[in-house]
């Protein structure tokens, strides 16, 4: 319910078409669908410009399927199912055919393709599932990210070989576990927005991603921002915000 | 030393004007000035598009003054002294007159004014020093941020009264201690990039900002990214990256 | 053994009906039944007004069954089996038919129905098992809680649609993982007692509920109180205390 | 702005007395006063039924004074200044005479006296400042709490001597540092609501209150709820919610 | 090699029976048997008066069996296998018949029975496995501990019913998870040595025993000492030290 | 109020000398003195056999003096003032002359001298204040501990030079910061009870004593027990319990 | 690409054999092979002198096999597969026969044997897998380490029996869980470099190796350095660095 | 007491010159001087080859002076006073003239100069005090380290300008706070031993050095080892061990 709709409602009040009690009630009610076990938000895309995502863990396959179908039943933007197991994916695709599956992520109704160059860098091969989630989510928003895997700082020349990918990007996602040092190095060679994603990959003193998380937050390269551990989805959403997906209505 | 300079150097090698040994040596050397106690980086602005900042704590007033003066001696972008005490500020201003002082931050040679709307929200009055640092740093980059103080979620209507500031912004900085819940609320009503800054303000179970930091990282509003505790400077740099300060050479 | 019983005992001592040594001994002994592996407390309901609960984990199915049966053998209030697996539930129901099963909770001999309006809010679908435990425990005390699922702050209008449930309640339980921000928001719109339950649901920086726990404890909405992670049972008991279950003898 | 006011506004829209644009604007605006450095909330008492509190740390004495004066300028409920230093207290009293000072807390315009029995227990003498804050805040709400100091579990008989205070109370606040065990003991002998406040008092392995906080959250006595470390103010607010201060309009 | 043996060796040196190089070498060598994968210590009982224990986890069943057999092959005191799985127990008993099995603990060659009264208290039924390990280890040292299960502070009268067990004991082991409050209560009613064992049993905010550990270390009852989480074996060894098992040679 | 007193009271009830209501009341009241700000426990020494201690921090000098004087006014055992500053000590000595001052500890009315050999070992010179507190508290109980300072494991021969002190002791207190390794080494060469006290002394990764605390709790020498950081007083009380101070009435 | 190659490239630029653009491009490119899912670094051995290692977890067996084969396809030093499961090992050996398997480690193309004495000490039998990884990695570098298992400080004589191994070594690796005290003891008797490896073995308060990690970092024996938990591979690499594997080109 | 001395003692026993009891006693006694408050170790240099260091904090100036003087009174190696305040330094120099003061470190009787190239890198100017301590300690061992200040990864070219210092070194100490990323970068370009020192310098999420500590321990560059936070002294000792100071007697 945007400002125009609010004015219309108040106009209806003035003209008497809408009863006072009813108006009070509607002023508090924005569109969503109540499935009993979930309240599906048809309003979020309008409000935030972000895709509607269904987080898999803790939901039954039928619940996943029902929420996805409900979201697709109304007009709107991309719908994403994340961290889904095979049974959840199967159920969702049966209810809503046509989703594109990448790893544990499924995307329906992706946004129109955009040309902004986005780079997604993963430090090690163990960070690939997080990069998969990030790239799939970016694709839902219409971004065809350029991806560099296995470019950790222990062999900086591997990054330097494709350094154009970094310097040309309008936004860079850096995904790393262990010491998370890749974020600082990328932040030092690029002036673009850098969104850092710590991963739970690693051993020794990686502490399930806490070390990389802290290291990225304390990066000596100014202006890096950070999302939660293994949160490739969140990083992609941050990029979508940065590149103006949500700002379109503003002009 | 950008790509053009590299080509020129290699041209000089081909023409024989530069000796091979010398070229090898110069290829490894980018411009900075060695003051003995610090290596002042004249290259960072070119490389990253970010301002050069001098972090006050741990430096003597003369060291602060010398670094600032050295940075201003070469052409370049904004110069910022952060977290400075009165003696550091006095010494720096004596050596480099004309700096604009806001709280513990001093800015010299600010960038040309820009019109992108940026919002800086602080949840409580105790978060104001962090907001000061953020707004002053944004000013160094040319952004005249709109600032809303004391708009924490315990009285949401205070935020809603100025909600246009949030919905119109191209980037929003949210500064909050305690539960950091303001970040989630703002992320839910705006599709613009949201950079969250946890602060060490608070009591009870605020744990010097750790609670707000964790809460912001775990925000249920997708696409929020976070910087370190009390790091208003870093948040401003992230905004500068987002709004293309560093990307200008690419465009 | 309440004050009346103590007076009676002492009267028996004066009259000589009870021997001194015996009285000393009885003064130290309050009613419970020793099953060998557990000491079943027949006194707690009198003393605290709270239901007697059997915590499933770590007990064999026969032990669960025996404790439940012992509790029901004596007159008293509600008996609750929590966090029980299917085998524990089967064994307990075989020994004590008639229990009402909700998720992993079983309730026997519920208290008489009460009319106090109680609201139980869960931020996400993954928080539902905790809400189940809370609602089932409230039912044991006679409260028919109104439950709102999936009303997290990322889509505040979902909460606002049913805001009457919150504003009309005499006590509100808020169940949330991730950033736990729902507790602050509810605390800001309701003057009723708010009992916050952090949950282990979440990812990124949720840290198994620790983030939500800290965030709720540091809530900027004054007067919120918190129980342990996933402790829907404890929150229900807190509500029972608040609404005077235990205070009845005093009134 | 409660529901009645909302209806009135809409009635004015219907009758044409209020312009549409103006109504849209007013619907987003609830009463507060913008002092520049703070947004003073005249609405919170109506909305939540809780007192308006000014948290001292980080504010200058003139800021404290101005906020207190602004709050008292409008009709309303109690006004509380907490954790204030001597200069803050002096400035506030100069601007707003008549406040009652207890330790670091000042109360103006207390609510009418209430008769609900409330008990405030402090385990050790070092916990007294927290008890002071709690008792002063309760007084602002009209409650004359009965206070028991120095009743830690190392000498349980000290508590038992005044056990009537506990068993007669409609709400009990338990304040303890170190192992926080007093909360469990009180929870075991009382069926009333127990709000536990961990304190930073202690040594050895008290860890600035973290040990007591965890211990209280993990209390084996069901239905205890907990607020932040040293948060006597928060506990008093929780009691005010429990005893229906905020629920009055609903009743 | 005790002081007498050292004197004898030196006498042999003086008399020429032992070569100098050999004596130097022997002075560095105390008796143990090298099994390749383990160095079995035949000296520890002499040196410390404590039983020789084999910790099961991480060892193959044949390794467990071999170490137990080697220990029993030499004269000495009790031999204990702890935290052993069924296959480890079977293998050990096959190699060394006659061990007494209690839960996951097996004891061979127990010390002669002693009459010192020792109490082992467990707060909840989930703490029983730790109590089993403790009681079995005490039995290896000859102590027939009196055990009280399910005597947590939520129902103090269950403890008080058998309070003689506590007040008569020469040493008390208190085993508790959750808030660990039982240790403080027992420490307050007994002047005997209290060894507290936190357990990993619990939920909510028990954090795998960390809460109980901290709570016990910060106990407000002076003179309580603590061992590691779930370490019933260690607590029994502490009691053995306290009651003079190791001090016998000195007396 | 011991068992004899209880019998006498009940006898008075039977004979009619004591009224029923009065008996009920007295049964709940054990001896202590209420000073307003503190409840001085005259019963603890009888009940636990431990000295009555006054913890200095957070108390005013007059409060320290009043509590000490009250404790000395009644017959009883040792009285100890710990962690006291110079002003607290002066005030206490003015009110109660004759106390023996050792560092920040003052002892009045020490117990009769005992001959049990007790060893107190401190790893480094920075651990000496904790050792002072421990030795002074032991002196209050009548133990003249043998003290070894600066015997850390980096130079084990310094310990070995006085190893008789360790092997002859009936109880050993080991005080160490940093890695706390001295506790394991002492536990390996002595069969006596070992009470380990981690200290906050250290640097690098000592973390204010947490490292030593964890290391001591995880000691590979079985049967070591641990008290809180810097808690020399608690360790001395543990030794007093071990050596039967509290058990005397039972023997 | 070492300095010589760089000079050759620049000579080609001068002579015109290499185009400027091409040179710029090549200056950024160092040798590695891009397998799509991994960037295999043929340069690291030259650059660092350390072996190329493939970390098993998170890679499919075919991926492990492909990376190992690629590394062996180019000339170079040792290739190591670590933390590999049986299927990964089988696949790797099928693709690259001849690897030496020790536990979960496989080594191909080991360096020539070296004679520097290296000692690897493991405190307990549960630390053996970490020692296996360390010894196998050392073997890849050509070192035939002398290994002492089960020499924890609870029975120091077991270490002293083979003390020559320690005192003769040019580098010592100390592997221990629990309290990690062995590192301090070894550091006190040897002047050689000591690399400490905390292990996750243990119970009670071992906290998955964190206690040993902290204890080793805070060792009171100066000059000990530490690697991550269970990181036997890293410790071996540190020894290789220390003994000059990587320094060969310099000397 | 080395092996030769031990043989001599035993020879004296054989010849009857030394009494048996006396020999037993002396075998346990290695040389140190007991100053009452400290046991000065004259043996450590022989035993470990490391310098004898006096840690300032917690010692009075006279104590510092006395320990230093005692150490210098016997022949031996370097003597170092660390973390000393001005008064401690003055007292020590008065008692033992000729010490070389660098920041808070004083060195007497330094070892003969050595030519091994050692590099000490500090990431920021705030890390300089730690570098001072490290360089001064290295000087005590005879090493004239080459020092690079302010070479953090945010401006890698500053490091690359002096990369020869790193590649030529036989050992590299890397000192960094914040994200500690410099250690990984140096480890990637050098094959020499890298000893990493996290510092407490920093802000945002540096957490007093914990972030850098974890990051360095989890470095993706293999073979880096780490010492405690701010422990420049320990890093220098590790280098001394690595470069054979302590191994000289063995060679």
Residue E51 has pLDDT above 90, yes or no: no
Residue E3 has pLDDT above 60, yes or no: no
Q: Are G62 and B62 in contact (CB under 8 A)?
A: no
Mean pLDDT of all residues belonging to chain G? 84
Does F have 3 or more CB contacts under 8 Å with H? Answer: yes
- Which residues fall within 8 angstroms of residue D55, CB to CB, at 6 or more apart? B124, B126, B203, D82, D83
3-class DSSP state of H176: strand
**What pLDDT digit, counting tens, does each position of G101-157 carry?**
999 999 999 999 999 999 999 998 889 999 999 999 999 999 999 999 988 877 666
pLDDT above 70 covers a percentage of chain E that reads 80
- Give dist(CA H49, CA H70) in Å, integer: 18
More confident position, A1 or G138? G138
Question: How far is CA F102 from its chain centroid?
Answer: 14
Picking from E185, E202, E214, the nearest residue to D211 by CB comes out as: E214
Pick from D240, D237, D229: nearest CA to D130: D229
Q: Are D139 and D110 in contact (CB under 8 A)?
A: yes
Q: State pTM to two decimals.
A: 0.87
Per-residue tokens: G246: 């990587």
Biggest distance spanned by C-alpha atoms of chain F: 72
> Do the Cβ atoms of G218 and F210 come within 8 Å?
no
Residue E129 backbone class (left: φ over 0; alpha: ψ -120 to 50; beta: rest)? alpha
**Mean pLDDT value of segment G89-104:** 96
C-chain residues near D213 (CB < 8 A): 217
pLDDT at position G49, please?
55
Q: Are D73 and D226 in contact (CB under 8 A)?
A: no
pLDDT at position A7, please?
66
> Do the Cβ atoms of D13 and A16 come within 8 Å?
no
- Give dist(CA C191, CA D244) in Å, integer: 8
Picking from F28, F59, F230, the nearest residue to D203 by CB comes out as: F230
Q: Are G121 and G146 in contact (CB under 8 A)?
A: no
pLDDT at position A236, please?
96
Residue G84 has pLDDT above 60, yes or no: yes
Q: Rounded to whole angstroms, what are the CA distances from F126 to F178, F198, G184?
A: 11, 12, 18
Check if G138 contacts H (Cβ < 8 Å).
no
Instruction: Work out whether strand F105-108 and strand F79-82 pair parallel, antiparallel, or are unpaired.
Output: antiparallel
Give the distance from residue G199's alpha carbon to the nearest chain H alpha carbon, in angstroms. Answer: 14
- Give dist(CA H66, CA H62) in Å, integer: 6
pLDDT at position C244, please?
84
Per-residue tokens: A216: 């990225």
> Do the Cβ atoms of A149 and G38 come within 8 Å?
yes
Query: What dihedral angle (degrees, nearest 10) is formed by the CA atoms of C147, C152, C156, C160?
Result: 10
- Full DSSP string of chain G: --HHHHHHHHHHHHHTSS-HHHHHHHHT---EEE-SS-EEESSHHHHH-PPEEEE-TT--HHHHHHHHHHHHHSS-S-EEEES--HHHHHHHHHHSTTPEEETTEEEESPPPPB---EEEEESSGGGHHHHHHHHHHHHHTTB--EEE-S--GGGHHHHHTTHHHHHH-SEEEEEE-TT-HHHHHHHHH--S-EEEEE-S---BS-GGGHHHHHHHHT-SSTT-EE--BT-HHHHHHHHHHHTTTTTGGG-
Report DSSP state, residue B61.
Answer: H
Q: Are D52 and D71 in contact (CB under 8 A)?
A: yes
- Give dist(CA B73, CA B96) in Å, integer: 10
pLDDT at position B155, please?
66
Q: Rounded to whole angstroms, what are the CA distances from H155 to B24, B31, B39, G201?
A: 19, 10, 9, 41
Say whether the ipTM exceeds 0.90. no
- Give dist(CA D126, CA F54) in Å, integer: 11
Check if F217 contacts E (Cβ < 8 Å).
yes
Least confident of E214-223, F70-79, F117-126: F70-79
Q: Are G43 and G32 in contact (CB under 8 A)?
A: yes
Query: CB B211: neighbour CB atoms within 10 A?
Result: 29
Strands (E), B6-127: 32-34, 39-41, 52-55, 79-82, 100-102, 105-108, 118-122
Beta bridge partners of F184: none
pLDDT at position E45, please?
46
CA dihedral sign, ordered C168, C172, C177, C182: positive
Q: Rounded to whole angstroms, what are the CA distances from A144 to A77, A112, F168?
A: 17, 11, 77
CA dihedral sign, ordered E150, E156, E160, E161: negative
> Do the Cβ atoms of G16 and B11 come within 8 Å?
no
- Give dist(CA E211, CA E225) in Å, integer: 16
- Give dist(CA A47, CA F114) in Å, integer: 79
Per-residue tokens: C207: 């840290």
pLDDT at position F2, please?
45
More confident position, B52 or A27? B52
Residue G3 has pLDDT above 60, yes or no: no
Weakly modelled stretches of chain D, pLDDT under 50: 1-2, 28-31, 45-47, 246-251
- Give dist(CA A179, CA A176) in Å, integer: 8
Residue H202 has pLDDT above 60, yes or no: yes
Q: Are H194 and H176 in contact (CB under 8 A)?
A: no
- Give dist(CA H187, CA E191) in Å, integer: 58
Pick from B69, B78, B156: nearest CA to B114: B78
Pick from G196, G82, G185: nearest CA to G129: G82
- Give dist(CA H8, CA H1) in Å, integer: 10
Check if E228 contacts D (Cβ < 8 Å).
no
Interface of B with D in 177-206 (CB under 8 A): 201, 203-206
- Give dist(CA D131, CA D125) in Å, integer: 10
- Helix orientation angle between F232-242 and F128-140, rounded to the nearest 10 degrees: 40
Beta bridge partners of E157: none
> Do the Cβ atoms of A14 and D20 come within 8 Å?
yes
Per-residue tokens: F228: 């809180």
pLDDT at position D1, please?
43
Q: Rounded to whole angstroms, what are the CA distances from C184 to C121, C219, C227, D45, E23?
A: 13, 6, 15, 16, 75
- Helix orientation angle between D181-189 and D210-217, rounded to the nearest 10 degrees: 30
Beta bridge partners of E100: E107
**Mean pLDDT value of segment A52-80:** 89
Q: Are C37 and C63 in contact (CB under 8 A)?
A: yes
> Do the Cβ atoms of E157 and C43 come within 8 Å?
yes
Number of residues that this document lists for chain B: 251
Chains near G, with 3+ CB pairs < 8 A? A, B, E, F, H
- Give dist(CA E246, CA F115) in Å, integer: 19
Check if D220 contacts C (Cβ < 8 Å).
no
Query: CB F111: neighbour CB atoms within 10 A?
Result: 17
> Do the Cβ atoms of D125 and F227 come within 8 Å?
no
- Give dist(CA D48, CA C192) in Å, integer: 8
pLDDT confidence bin for B15, thresholds 50/70/90:
confident
Q: Are E236 and E134 in contact (CB under 8 A)?
A: yes
Query: CB F142: neighbour CB atoms within 10 A?
Result: 18
- Full DSSP string of B101-117: EETTEEEESPPPPB---
pLDDT confidence bin for F16, thresholds 50/70/90:
confident
pLDDT at position A199, please?
97
> Do the Cβ atoms of C149 and A39 come within 8 Å?
yes
pLDDT at position D174, please?
97
> Do the Cβ atoms of B161 and D32 come within 8 Å?
yes
Check if D10 contacts C (Cβ < 8 Å).
no
Residue H26 has pLDDT above 80, yes or no: no
E-chain residues near G208 (CB < 8 A): none
């Amino acid at each position: 319910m945007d400002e125009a709709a609010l004015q219309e409602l108040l106009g209806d009040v003035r003209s008497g078409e809408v009863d006072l009690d009813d108006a009070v009630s509607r002023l508090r009610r924005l569109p969503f669908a109540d499935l009993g076990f979930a309240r599906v938000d048809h309003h979020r895309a309008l409000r935030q410009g972000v895709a509607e995502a269904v987080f898999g863990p803790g939901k039954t396959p039928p619940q996943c399927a029902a929420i996805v179908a409900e979201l697709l039943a109304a007009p709107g933007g991309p719908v994403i199912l994340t961290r889904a197991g095979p049974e959840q994916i199967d159920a969702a695709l049966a209810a809503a055919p046509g989703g594109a599956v990448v790893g544990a992520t499924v995307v329906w109704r992706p946004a129109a393709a955009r040309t902004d160059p986005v780079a997604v860098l993963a430090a090690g091969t163990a960070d690939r599932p997080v990069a998969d989630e990030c790239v799939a989510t970016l694709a839902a928003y219409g971004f065809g990210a350029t991806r560099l895997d296995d470019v950790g700082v222990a062999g900086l020349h591997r990054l330097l070989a494709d350094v154009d990918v970094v310097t040309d990007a309008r936004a860079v996602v850096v995904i790393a576990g262990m010491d998370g040092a890749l974020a600082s190095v990328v932040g030092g060679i690029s002036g673009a927005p850098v969104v850092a994603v710590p991963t739970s990959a690693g051993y020794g003193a990686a502490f399930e991603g806490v070390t990389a998380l802290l290291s990225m937050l304390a990066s000596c390269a100014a202006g890096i921002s950070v999302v939660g551990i293994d949160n490739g989805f969140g990083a992609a959403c941050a990029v979508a915000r940065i590149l103006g997906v949500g700002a379109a209505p503003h002009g």
